[in-house]
Amino acid sequence: MGFSALKSGSDVRGRAVGDDAQITERVASALGMAFALRLARDLHKPVSEVTIALGRDSRITGPKLLSAAADGILRAGASVMDFGMCTTPAMFMCIITPGFEPDGSIMLTASHHPWDRNGLKFFTAGGGIEGKYVEELLAEAETLNPEASEATGTYTEKPFLPVYMEQLAARIRQGLQTDEAAPLKGLHVVVDAGNGAGGFYARLMESLGADTAGSQFLDPDGMFPNHIPNPENPDAMASVCAAVRRAGADLGVIFDTDCDRAAIVDAEGREINRNRLIALISAILLEEKPDRTIVTDSVTSAGLKTFIEQRGGTHYRFKRGYRNVIDEAVRLNAEGIDCPLAIETSGHAALRENHFLDDGMYLVTVLIIRAMRMKREGKSLSDLIADLKEPAESREVRLNILEKDFRTRGQEVIDLIQRHAERTGGWHIAPDNREGIRVSFDLNGRKDSGWFLLRLSVHDPVLPLNCESDEAGGVRQILSALYTVLKGERGIDLSPLEKEI
């Protein structure tokens, strides 16, 4: 298998355990060397003057893969800062933090994926690298033989997490307009790190005066024995919701393994993720200044759009993929459009005030500031989204594309639905359709009371189908209508859709 198969969007990812491991020490070493050589070329300086920071999450393969990546960097002639356990957002922040400022950084992580996976995320001073950069890096790495070179670079262990923690603490004091040592005194926060890299957040909360009793799974354990560290996982969310209720806390927070995604839980133990999380941070930003644009991925609900517009904002749906929404928000700002947030329903969130860095922990920090202010007023975060209209039903169905040229076949199916919608009464193509085909329906005489979105997966031979309805039984009506159009189409496995109807 060639290195190119390891590309996953703007990351490198694959199996890291077993005889069929894809992310091996050799791969990590070659990628470390390739990144060092690439930075030297791009920065127009000798590789001996290049420094790269390395960090990892809690996975059992992390230490050996970090060591291998360091070895490749050193054999390229560049220097290494080893941060040990760290978070993905911190690996960018170190680049712009005085006293560190490496030329680039690498995070060893596979995010929320199972314990036997691992991967590499790369950062430069411009942020996370793009997919094309990853392709070029993998191609160069495959040609290299690090073992043939002598290690001439310098290696330094220099933890960054304490500095990152202080940056978050400073943001809390700034947000609460205070210099006091314990600005969160009186707030009870349950932290669930899922045995990933984010357990230190409980210590941060305690250092600022918060009560963290009831927090769970803070110790790093790369086998993830308690639940998958993933804010989208139902078991993980049920676990943290129960922990908040047991503790009688004001709120709970949960991170994925490398802390670039997060969700929260309110005092009643109700999860605030996906559309509710987007609504919450949007409400805060639009209260500060209406007439702003919020960029989200394409599968957000109709109720969220109404919620944002009622507060004077513009809801701008864009393509799935956290890099896509971030890049679009950056582009809109460059055009003079006031866009302070790019966020996916998965929990990936990037705020303009934080360099448009995909940082779940920073998002949670902003929400905790508001939670503290509202508690002093006898209110809670949930009050901010009390009027968010949520669907009566929602469903996601994944239709496998069976043909080899899956992208062409998938687009043909989307085009078929587009043509059908254009000529069929009651099918309303969304005016902000920027990915796949999104169609709304009038159910039981209620205008735009249900919708579906059919799109191509970013990476896989799959057509994900999302559907929501404000009416009971509406999802089945919509999916049945769609099935009628797709029935008999070649190269598409419709069995998941058949099961729903």
Are 285 and 366 contacting, i.e. CB atoms less than 8 angstroms apart? no
**Residue 451 near residue 430 (C-beta atoms within 8 A):** yes
CB 388 within 8 A of CB 302: no
Give the CATH fold of the 3-159 domain.
Alpha-D-Glucose-1,6-Bisphosphate; Chain A, domain 3 (3.40.120)
Query: How distant is the alpha carbon of residue 58 from its chain centre?
Result: 18
Q: pLDDT truncated to tens, each residue of the chain (501 aa)?
A: 689 999 998 999 999 999 999 999 999 999 999 999 999 999 999 999 999 999 999 999 999 999 999 999 999 999 999 999 999 999 999 999 999 999 999 999 999 999 999 999 999 999 999 999 999 999 999 999 999 999 999 999 999 999 999 999 999 999 999 999 999 999 999 999 999 999 999 999 999 999 999 999 999 999 999 999 999 999 999 999 999 999 999 999 999 999 999 999 999 999 999 999 999 999 999 999 999 999 999 999 999 999 999 999 999 999 998 899 999 999 999 999 999 999 999 999 999 999 999 999 999 999 999 999 999 999 999 999 999 999 999 999 999 999 999 999 999 999 999 999 999 999 999 998 899 999 999 998 888 899 999 999 877 899 999 999 999 999 999 999 999 999 999 999 999 999 999
Q: Taking the domains of the chain in order of start, what are their residue ranges? A: 3-159, 164-385, 393-500
**Is the full-model pTM beyond 0.75?**
yes
Distance CA 322, CA 96 (A): 21
Fold of 164-385: Alpha-D-Glucose-1,6-Bisphosphate; Chain A, domain 3 (3.40.120)
Domain boundaries 393-500, CATH class: alpha beta
Does this chain's domain 3-159 share its CATH topology with 164-385? yes
Establish how many alpha carbons lie within 13 A of residue 36's alpha carbon, considering only the half-sphere containing its beta carbon. Answer: 34
CB 472 within 8 A of CB 444: no
